Amino acid sequence: MHDIVIRGGTIVDGSGKPAFAGDVAIAGGRIAAVGGKQGPGKREIDADGLLVTPGWVDVHTHYDGQAMWDPMLAPSCWHGVTTVMFGNCGVGFAPVKKEHRGALMDLMEGVEEIPNPVLAAGLNWEWETFPQYMDELDRRPRAIDIAAQIAHLPLRVHVMGDRAVRREMATPDDIAQMRDLTVEALRCGAFGFTTSRTDSHKTPDGDLVPSRDADDHELLGIGSAMSVTGTGAFGMNSDFDDEEFELRWMRKLARETGRPVWFLLTDRYSDPQRWRRLIKAVHEARAEGLSLTAQMAGRPIGVMMGIGTALNPFTVRPTYKQLESLPIEEQRRRLRDPDLRRKILSEKPSDAEVAKLAQFRQYITTRFDKFFTMGNPPDYEPGPEKSVAAIAARTGKSPDEVAYDYILEDGHYLYFPVVNYTTGDHEPIREMLNDPGCLLGLSDGGAHCTSIIDAGVPSYMLTHWGRDRTRGPKLPLEMLVKRQTSETAGFFGLTDRGRLVPGLRADVNLIDFDGMRMQKPELIHDMPANGRRFVQRVTGYEATLVAGQPIFERGEGTGALPGKLVRAGRVGDNAKAA
**pTM, entire model:** 0.96
The model's confidence at residue 575, banded by pLDDT at 50, 70 and 90, is very low
Q: What is the dihedral of CA 164, 167, 168, 174, to 10 degrees?
A: 40
Q: Identify whether 377 is preceded by a cis peptide bond (ω within 30 of 0).
A: yes
Q: Which domains does the chain have, with CATH numbers?
A: 2-54+504-517+536-557 (2.30.40.10), 57-301+425-491 (3.20.20.140), 303-419 (no CATH)
The sign of the dihedral angle between the CA atoms of 296, 371, 379, 443 is: positive
pLDDT at 176: 98
The sign of the dihedral angle between the CA atoms of 454, 458, 460, 461 is: positive
Residue 358 clears pLDDT 80, i.e. is over it: no
Q: Which pLDDT tens digit goes with each residue over 469-510?
A: 999 999 999 999 999 999 999 999 999 999 999 999 999 999
Q: What are phi and psi of 394, to 5 degrees?
A: -75, -35
pLDDT at 360: 61
pLDDT at 577: 34
Mean pLDDT of the chain: 95
CA distances (Å), 552 to each of 2, 79, 143, 558, in order?
A: 20, 10, 9, 6
| Pairing status of strand 541-546 against strand 508-511 | antiparallel
Q: Which pLDDT tens digit goes with each residue over 117-170?
A: 999 999 999 999 999 999 999 999 999 999 999 999 999 999 999 999 999 999
The model's confidence at residue 574, banded by pLDDT at 50, 70 and 90, is very low
pLDDT at 229: 98
Tell me which residue of 391, 415, 400 sits closest to 344, measured CA to CA. Answer: 400
The model's confidence at residue 86, banded by pLDDT at 50, 70 and 90, is very high
Cα(272)–Cα(362) distance, rounded to whole angstroms?
18
**Is the distance from CB of 164 to CB of 156 less than 8 angstroms?**
yes
Lowest mean pLDDT among 48-62, 286-300, 364-378, 409-423: 364-378
Tell me which residue of 354, 313, 61 sits closest to 206, measured CA to CA. Answer: 354
The model's confidence at residue 271, banded by pLDDT at 50, 70 and 90, is very high
Q: Which pLDDT tens digit goes with each residue over 179-207?
A: 999 999 999 999 999 999 999 899 998 89
Cα(31)–Cα(48) distance, rounded to whole angstroms?
19
pLDDT at 364: 74
Q: Pick the residue with more confidence: 573 or 474?
A: 474
Residue 578 clears pLDDT 90, i.e. is over it: no
Please classify residue 299 by burial: count the beta carbons closer than 10 Å to its beta carbon, then call 0-12 exposed, 13-18 middle and 19+ buried. buried
